[in-house]
Amino acid sequence: MDIVRIEDLQTEAVIGVYDFEHKAPQPLIIDLELETDFSRAFRSDDLNDALDYDAITQAVRAFCESSRYALLEKMAGDLIAMIQERFNVDKVGIKIRKPAALKGAMASVWCERTRAEISQLEKSNG
């Protein structure tokens, strides 16, 4: 498998467990690790056979900016599912950093799931 990394994607979201965190969007920094097969792109040199980094970045920003979550973990899981629904990605790893969450430290979560793992989660929740 081949990997695309998108690092330090700057966005914001209304996220947190405390009431004051729901008053305004907070900054987030996201790193993505997207695993897929580039064999077709190796031969074709065609964006249709690869991952469109710009489209993925725009989708992640739009998702975050329109969302409301209590937990970074839930947001990470939903972002993984959205990326796998919309793009040809077999496995997604995501790190979400919330720079304003802690004084003198950086809060973050790292999650990764394959397409099969996400399908299994959706079946057990539905």
Strand order in the sheet with 26-36: 68-69, 2-15, 26-36, 91-98, 107-114
Helices (H), ranges, 7-114: 39-44, 53-65, 72-86
Position 85: which residue type? E
| 98 annotated active-site | yes
**Catalytic pick among 23, 74, 95, 98:** 98
Measured CA to CA, the distance from residue 56 to residue 19 in angstroms comes to: 31
* Positions marked catalytic: 98
